[in-house]
Chains A and B, each alone.
Chain A
Amino acid sequence: MTEIVALEALAARVAPGQSLAIPVDRSGVAMAATAAIIEAGIDDLHLICVPISGLQADLLIGAGAVKTLETSAISLGEAGGAPRFGAAVRAGSVTLRDATCPAIHAGLSAAQHGVPFMPIAGIIGSDLLKVRPDWKVIDSPVGEARKVVVVPAITPDIALFHAPEADRAGNVRIGRFRELATMAYASRKTLVTVERIVDRNLLETEDSAAGVLPSLYVDAIAVAERGAWPLALWDEYPADEAEIARYAAMARSEDGFRAYLSAFLTHRKQVA
């Protein structure tokens, strides 16, 4: 059964050294839970960005929580490059597993289907194949004779995201952000923060059930109001562009980042 727990208890379910799948900025990023993870000192994480990340990954990297970074890109979007990511690459302090967006989706899809790898179009000729020896180019075993890339299944220990609402049984509304379902199918455990718990059953009608991830795939839920802040949450609230720009400016230096992080963690505690 899906457990409804406090935010700190949810974060405590992430253990050092685990692989953690997180969604792209617009899909519903669990920023409040990210603060709780950093606060709890969980580190050595293998971060899997589905398929890219921004502020969340940069905060975790800056806080020293990330050992391995698997992503197709890290960017703060309009606010520019991700400063702590850039610094970590220069320092060589994070092991990079550069990818391309559909390869991450394909790897999760392989795990979703319980198969060891997934073939994927394109990619041939890219230097990504040189830096990702786990990706293979094979002769297609069926159909016309041709080369095709295969990528191994990605089975994250934990999937973590934020959504507007869940019901008391643990069914979570994910709208048309279907990658959240793929993450949950592929992962060993799924942790979700929500704006609110609703009394009605989200699976009650065809209309309400259509955009819902069933509780079968959801291990624990915590309520975190404005839990994606300063990132956007769908129709609920827009991104706090000024706050993200402030982060981008402060995080250029290690000291600036430390100051931002400290204020961010304090702010999150006050909200909670």
Chain B
Amino acid sequence: MSSDHERREILIATIADLLDGIRHVAVGASSPIPAAGAMLLRARNERDGKPPVRISILGSQAHNFFTNGGIELFDCAAQGRVDAFFLGGGQIDGEGNINLVGTGDYPKTDVRWPGSFGSAYLYHLVPRVILFREEHSPRVFVPKVDFVSARAITPEVPRRGGPYALLTNMALFDFDREAGGFVLRSVHPPFTPADIRENTGFDYAVPDVVRETQRPDAATLALLRGRVFDELAETYPAFARTMKQAA
């Protein structure tokens, strides 16, 4: 990959593909790339005459239709009206559990991250949770998280929600809920499956053929660099400006 902005364009286009078919996607705070991916899907569906996509972007006024305060996103998810959401993690383990709290022993953690936000709840309720973390390293992708902010699989209770995919700077994984683990789907050029193995601290399945992550086509890039970055600028002005300038 030749540059940061091209890498980010691939991530945004990949997110739009992962969201294909959904009716409503919500995007949490500090998430410019997921927000851009959601906007790209909406723009592409409009262009292609496909069903409309609703987007709720936390912190946006123009791209957020909620009127019932901070609780509405959570109520909406509980009602089955949110099809997709994004979560990250200071640590993510091979079972799909995420840690947004810190490393070491709670409460006096060695490194303290902001906190669990809505993860413990939304992971149960949103069918297509996309785990998104740019840094792909063994310190992030660990065999077992130090603190489970949100658990991926809980056979003891019925749930519709959970991890759907994991997208990083290097690769895209699917999550197999039956097996309870990740499956490598594609590798972003110029990385190889061996690079992924070296930088991932947990075990995952590898299919016989691992393809390269698709680069966005010219029409997608035009949509992205035009309408999508313009829409994104309301919530993420600095990010949108940088991406437009680099393009």
Nearest chain A residue, comparing its CB with the CB of B69: A178
- In A152-181, the 8 Å CB interface with B consists of 176-181
Q: B218 at the A/B interface (Cβ < 8 Å)?
A: no
- The smallest C-beta distance from B235 to any residue of chain A, in angstroms, reads 10
Contact B71 A128 (CB under 8 A): no
B59 close to A (CB within 8 Å): yes
Q: Which of A71, A74, A128 has the most CB of B within 10 A?
A: A128
Q: Which among A14-22, A119-127, A198-206 touches the partner chain?
A: A119-127
Nearest chain A CB to B73's CB is how many angstroms away?
Answer: 9
- A105/B123 in contact, CB under 8 A: no
Q: Which residues of B contact A81 (CB under 8 A)?
A: 113-114
- Residues in B with CB closer than 8 Å to A105 are 70-71, 74
Question: How many residues on the B side are at the interface (Cβ–Cβ under 8 A)?
Answer: 47
Q: Are B69 and A100 in contact (CB under 8 A)?
A: no
A100 to B66, CA, bound (A): 20
Contacting pair A96 B71 (CB below 8 A)? no
Contact B30 A77 (CB under 8 A): yes
User: Contact at A122–B124, with CB atoms within 8 Å?
Assistant: yes
Knowing A72-B115, A85-B112, A147-B157, say if A103 contacts B107 (CB, 8 Å).
Answer: no
Q: Footprint of B on A, CB under 8 Å?
A: 24, 26-27, 50-52, 71-75, 77-78, 81-82, 85-86, 89-90, 92, 96, 98-103, 105, 109, 120-128, 131, 146-147, 176-182
Subset of 7 A-B contacts with CB under 8 Å: A74-B114, A89-B107, A98-B107, A101-B74, A102-B121, A120-B121, A122-B124
Q: CB within 8 Å of A: which residues of B? A: 29-30, 59, 66-72, 74, 78, 100-102, 106-110, 112-125, 147-151, 153-154, 156-159, 161, 238
Nearest 7 A/B pairs, CB to CB? A178-B69, A125-B151, A73-B115, A122-B124, A122-B121, A102-B74, A75-B114
With A124-B124, A124-B151, A128-B149 known, 8 other A-B pairs at CB within 8 A are A26-B59, A100-B118, A100-B121, A109-B71, A122-B159, A124-B157, A126-B116, A126-B151
